[in-house]
């Protein structure tokens, strides 16, 4: 609600995402991109409609079940990295395992392995404030991979990075996709479409495709190009009817 007016962050969105695909969601600020990402990742709940990830309908899960779903199925990457400043890179990456009854030694081993995958094993004992933006985002990616999720959700992952760092993060996301994961990126960065298998344009909470809507998106200041990928098998469906982000 914005004062007396109900604002629908998403409205009538019907989206199916194939497994092992790389989706990029683009749109102007306030178009509902992040809301869509948060709904799919179980960080928000739809006021109506349904969200299914694999065989699981996540809109019916309670808070505990949602926490389990997030921990096992989804890896989140945020624009502002969301690293815990008082912890080292290694501790940040190991953090999600604290609540999965993984022994401390095993947590450290897995975290180090995850850091190695993003090329930051030599920064394991550095705190976020001692790392560059690109390195912090790599730590965040390593943290998102610690539970070996099948679905990676990234919210403006290059938004706070310079061009070179952004390109390396893009490359890393592309490698995650090529390793068999499904990647969904919300971004303003048009370069991301180069590695995507499909681009979805959002405007005012609705998916817009085709020439006219793209023009509308371009008119709103966002460059977007839509490509169609293979959708032979449905793994994820986010269907929102008259959908509104949870306050």
Question: Which residues of this chain interact with another protein, rule CB under 8 A?
Answer: 43, 61-65, 67-68, 70-72, 76, 78, 80-82, 84-87, 92, 95-96, 98-101, 143
User: Which residues are registered as beta bridge partners of 51?
Assistant: 238
Q: How open is the CA angle 231-235-241, to the nearest 5 degrees? A: 95
**How far is CA 108 from its chain centroid?**
25
> Please, which residue, 80 or 178, has the CB nearer to another protein?
80
Nearer to another protein, 63 or 212 (CB): 63
Cβ at position 215, least distance to another protein in Å: 33
CB of 95 to another protein, least distance (A): 6
Of 140 and 192, nearer to another protein (C-beta) is 140
Nearer to another protein, 143 or 181 (CB): 143
Q: How far is the CB of 213 from another protein (least distance, A)?
A: 30
User: Within 13 Å and on the Cβ side, how many CA atoms surround 156?
Assistant: 16
Give CA separation, 225 vs 125, 163, 191, 212, in Å. 41, 20, 10, 12
Selection from 190, 140, 241, 188 nearest residue 31 by Cα? 188
CB of 224 to another protein, least distance (A): 26
Q: What is the dihedral of CA 183, 135, 89, 66, to 10 degrees?
A: -20
Can you tell me the distance from the alpha carbon of 73 to that of 65, in angstroms, rounded to the nearest whole number?
A: 12
CB distance 182 to 17 below 8 Å: yes
Smallest separation (angstroms) from another protein to the CB of 112 = 18
User: Between residues 55 and 62, which has the closer beta carbon with respect to another protein?
Assistant: 62
């Amino acid at each position: 609600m914005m004062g007396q007016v109900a604002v629908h962050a998403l409205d009538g969105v019907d989206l199916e995402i194939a497994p092992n695909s790389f989706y990029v969601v683009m749109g102007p600020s306030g178009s509902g991109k992040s809301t869509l990402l948060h709904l799919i990742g179980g960080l928000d709940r739809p006021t109506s409609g349904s969200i299914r990830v694999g065989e699981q309908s996540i809109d019916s899960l309670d808070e505990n079940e949602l926490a389990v779903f997030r921990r096992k199925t989804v890896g989140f990457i945020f624009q502002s990295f969301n690293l815990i400043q008082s912890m080292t890179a290694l501790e940040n990456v190991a953090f999600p395992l604290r609540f999965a009854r993984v022994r401390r030694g095993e947590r450290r081993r897995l975290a180090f392995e995850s850091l190695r995958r993003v090329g930051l094993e030599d920064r394991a004992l550095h705190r976020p404030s001692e790392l560059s933006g690109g390195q912090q985002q790599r730590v965040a990616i390593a943290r998102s991979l610690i539970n070996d999720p099948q679905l990676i959700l990234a919210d403006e992952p290059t938004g706070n990075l310079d061009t070179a760092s952004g390109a390396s993060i893009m490359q890393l996301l592309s490698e995650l996709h090529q390793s068999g994961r499904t990647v969904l990126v919300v971004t303003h960065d048009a370069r991301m479409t180069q590695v995507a298998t499909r681009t979805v344009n959002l405007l005012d909470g609705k998916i817009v495709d085709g020439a006219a809507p793209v023009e509308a998106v371009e008119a709103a200041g966002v460059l977007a190009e839509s490509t169609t990928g293979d959708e032979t098998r449905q793994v994820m469906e986010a269907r929102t009817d008259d959908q509104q982000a949870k306050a």
